[in-house]
Every structure is written in structure tokens, then in C-alpha cells.
Copies of this chain bind each other. A is one copy, B any other.
């Protein structure tokens, strides 16, 4: 257990898809570099063995990288899982379909153990694309409508590693701000996070830091003074707040407040 980590959310490394070598190297480094023992879980993928192998090949700087094959709930409850995860310093969830992750792993021994190991700071949990979406309390499961309506987004519960947020991925690349706006208009309790490709958030304590080449768009409907979500037709959302944050910015989750600089600088400022 790493005593320097605030266990509030544990360490989560949440990527918007298409992570380049820089982000993957950073994950390996955070997991321990040459001493890292990384486990790749490709449950989201329709071809889990190929997906796991492709990701493992990109983490050559790690001490060890292995795939953990979980494609059924029986796999997720198998006794062999526990020693593999307990030995890991980093776990990486690949992309694919986020509902495969939640339906196969949700409520299983793997789910419980990951929650424990992450909250204790025993490992860093990373996910890209579908592996990012499943981190949130509420995940977007579909909807590519061009308009901002109640029906233009579908949501479902995620695995809640990062509560209070709703994560969308491939964000700029797929023009998904409309569906994120629809989602937070319906659920203004959730902070909307849109993560671009080759971009990540790294949680530390109550904050997350933005890393990578793109930006994280934060939509906060908590400030909205008027929200109307009719069963059909366009949504009204007046007075929401939007932040576009590239690398070098930190976001303070309880305060819903962005800060220029790293979490370390933010701690100094707050002290």
C-alpha cells in the first residue's frame, strides 16, 4: 500500500480512447515502472485475447504485463482471479462495449476486490474508452443524436470507481458534447466529463489532473437556473458551466472548480 496516496478515490487513470505511447508510458511509470506488475482485462472487447495482447505490447517498460481473461461471470468469480489482482500494481481495462464490463464483472468477486484494492491504494486502475466509461457512477451507454433531447442519450449505472461523475470518451473526435449536455440536464447531480482521445484524467485525492494531447470538457449543470426535459423535443438548460481543460489543469471535484496547475500546486495553494 502506498501511504502517500489519499485513498478517497484511489488512483484512477481514465483515458478517452486511442491513447498514444506517452500516456501508456505514464501509466506504466505510475504503476511502478520497471517494478510494475500490470494486468490487462479486455472484457469489453469482442476479441479479448487480441485486444489484451495488443495493449500488453504497448507497455514494454513495465516489469511484467499479463492478460487476465474474464469473459463470463464465472470467470469473474473464479478463485484464480484474486492472487493475480492482489499481485498487481496496475490494472488496465481496454475499450469495446462498456455494458460488457458492467454485465460480466458487476457485483462479482472481481468487482469487490478491485474496489478494495483501488480504495486502499494497492494498485492504480486504468481504463480507456469503454474502460473509462465504466469507471463512473453513471455511464453513457449510447445515443448519437445530433440534438439535445431526453431521448438523445441512454445511460446506465457504471462500476462507480469515481462517484458523482458521468464520463464520455472519444469526446471531441465524435462530437459528443450534445449527448453529454443531454445527460447532465437529466442528471445534474452528475458532473459531465468528456475526455478526448489520447487524453486522460488522473485522480489524486479529491482532484483530477488532465494529461495528454487533447482536452477534458467538464459540464456542470449544477449551476443551471432552469432545466426542462420534456419527454420529446429539445431540452432547455440555462446557466450551466463549461470548462475546457488541457494538460496542466487540475479539477477539484467537491468544489466543481478548475485550477491552473498540478494537484501538488493546488495543495500548496490551499495550504
Residue positions of A touching B, CB distance < 8 A: 146-148, 172-178, 181, 185, 196, 213-215, 217, 219, 223, 226, 228, 233-249, 258, 260
Q: Do A249 and B236 have beta carbons less than 8 Å apart?
A: yes
Q: Do B241 and A245 have beta carbons less than 8 Å apart?
A: no
Q: Do B147 and A214 have beta carbons less than 8 Å apart?
A: yes
Q: Return A172 CB to nearest CB of chain B, in Å.
A: 4
A176 to B147, CA, bound (A): 12
Given contacts A146-B175, A236-B246, A241-B242, 12 further A-B contacts (CB under 8 A): A146-B172, A147-B196, A147-B214, A172-B178, A213-B234, A214-B234, A228-B260, A235-B244, A235-B246, A236-B245, A237-B242, A237-B244
Q: Return A70 CB to nearest CB of chain B, in Å.
A: 33
For A246, what are the chain B residues with a Cβ–Cβ distance below 8 Å? 228, 233-236
**Complex A-B: 22 CB contacts under 8 Å:** A146-B174, A147-B172, A147-B196, A148-B172, A148-B215, A172-B178, A175-B175, A175-B178, A177-B178, A213-B233, A219-B242, A226-B258, A228-B260, A234-B244, A234-B246, A235-B244, A235-B246, A236-B244, A237-B242, A239-B241, A239-B243, A240-B244
For A177, what are the chain B residues with a Cβ–Cβ distance below 8 Å? 175, 177-178
- Which one, B174, B178, B258, contacts A238 given CB within 8 A? B258
Q: Do A147 and B215 have beta carbons less than 8 Å apart?
A: yes
A196 to B181, CA, bound (A): 15
Residue of B nearest to A196 (CB): B147
Q: Do A173 and B196 have beta carbons less than 8 Å apart?
A: no
A246 to B244, CA, bound (A): 24
Q: Do A215 and B242 have beta carbons less than 8 Å apart?
A: no
Q: Return A216 CB to nearest CB of chain B, in Å.
A: 9
Q: Do B234 and A215 have beta carbons less than 8 Å apart?
A: yes
For A178, what are the chain B residues with a Cβ–Cβ distance below 8 Å? 172, 175, 177
Q: Return A5 CB to nearest CB of chain B, in Å.
A: 26
- Which one, B196, B238, B248, B258, contacts A245 given CB within 8 A? B238
Residue of B nearest to A224 (CB): B243
Residue of B nearest to A147 (CB): B172
Q: Do B233 and A258 have beta carbons less than 8 Å apart?
A: no
Q: Return A234 CB to nearest CB of chain B, in Å.
A: 4
Q: Return A238 CB to nearest CB of chain B, in Å.
A: 4
